[in-house]
Amino acid sequence: MLARIRKQLNHEDKGFTLIELLVVMIIIGILAAVAIPIFLSQRKKAEDSAAKADVSTLGKEIATWFVDNTAAPSVTLNNGKWQLDGNDVGNASNNVQLKANVDAAATSTTWCVSVVNDEGDKTSTTNGGASYSAENGLQVGDKADC
């Protein structure tokens, strides 16, 4: 009995068998096949959230603008910052672009601004993006149209 144990200790198998390595590779492949699509979906949701955050910031700033002013402001994107009539109101998120500016004839109850993020999920549809208006507040996806 002791001789057999000594023989096994002296033999010292090092490394893994080919079957063990293949099983581990198959398990990793299955996990990757499940995880990668979920990750990509989460990335698109984050891009949509960026568009919603930007348009919400713009909408609230425009609503505040109409408290003191009667003429509609001009919304622009300049050097990564959103501007209302040349005044910085917040940083723009990556890939978010202005889709529909405030109409020059808009009033405090009829204004609407819209942004789009082509990297997102809901913003890539024909009428997609996110909009914020005095009448409807925040709208996303197919409802978001000024």
Q: Is the pLDDT of residue 75 over 80?
A: yes
* SS3 of the chain: helix, strand, coil, percent, to 5: 45, 20, 30
Per-domain boundaries in the chain: 48-143
- In tens, the pLDDT along 7-17 reads 766 666 677 88
Structure tokens at 145: 């149209």
Triad 113, 115, 120: Cα angle to 5° = 155
pTM greater than 0.75 (yes/no): no
Q: Is the pLDDT of residue 54 over 90?
A: yes
What ranges in the chain are assigned the alpha helix state H?
2-11, 18-68
Closest CA to 76 of 43, 126, 33, 113: 113
pLDDT at 125: 47
Q: How far apart are the first and last CA of the chain?
A: 86
Q: Is the pLDDT of residue 118 over 90?
A: no
Strand 81-84: give its sheet, edge to edge: 75-78, 81-84, 87-91
Q: Give the C-alpha separation, 112 to 52, whole Å.
A: 14
Q: How confident is the model at residue 117 (pLDDT cuts 50, 70, 90)?
A: confident
- Enumerate long-range contacts of 2-9, CB under 8 Å, 24 or more apart: none
